[in-house]
Amino acid sequence: MTKNQLILVRIIAALIVIGISVFIYSIRDQAEQLAIYGYPGIFLLAFLAYATVFLPAPGLAVIFTMGAIFNPLGVALAASVGAALGELSGYLAGFSGQPIVERSALNERLYRWMHKNGPLSIFVMAALPNPFFDVAGVVAGVLKMSLPTFLIWCWLGEIVKMLVFAYAGSGILK
């Protein structure tokens, strides 16, 4: 890939991430209505909630609630796949903004840790409910972690988190 092609791909990836984030943020109040469509709705809701980069979305609260309505294992599986695929937006942001992100002193420690413990760091960051996973996805994109590696370890972490929230909702709200 030539330098100009790489720049074009990065610009397109950045525009996609910005467009998805703005769209999802604009429909955040209607997003919970997708849950009426069962597991496909939960998948879509998780995808939309996790596709935002640095903007809040109500994903875990809905997973908690849906755990009381549907089978918690099914909720966790649908939500974890949607969430892992949604996290691609952070990965793409890192890929597209690589020259900018690499120079950021703020990400230097995470960058070093992920360079040393890439898959494990993705798993841990995805398994814990925290607002910083977007940064981990960005750094994974910057480090050019393979996409299958990122998705598998992200999904494994997401399924742990979604299982906890779906079963907690099942136990508390039933």
Averaged pLDDT for residues 36-51: 87
Within a 10 A sphere around the Cβ of 169, how many other Cβ atoms?
Answer: 23
pLDDT of residue 83: 93
pTM comes to 0.76
pLDDT at position 120 over 80: yes
Which residue would you say has higher pLDDT here, 106 or 137? 137
pLDDT at position 13 over 80: no
Which residue would you say has higher pLDDT here, 145 or 114? 145
How many residues belong to the chain? 174
Q: What is the mean pLDDT of the chain?
A: 81
Q: ∠ CA 38-44-46 to the nearest 5 degrees?
A: 100
Buried b (16+ CB within 10 A) or exposed e, 89-112: bbbbbbbbbbeebeeeeebeebbe
Distance (Å, whole) CA 43 – CA 53: 18
pLDDT-derived band at 74, boundaries 50, 70, 90? very high
pLDDT at position 20 over 80: no
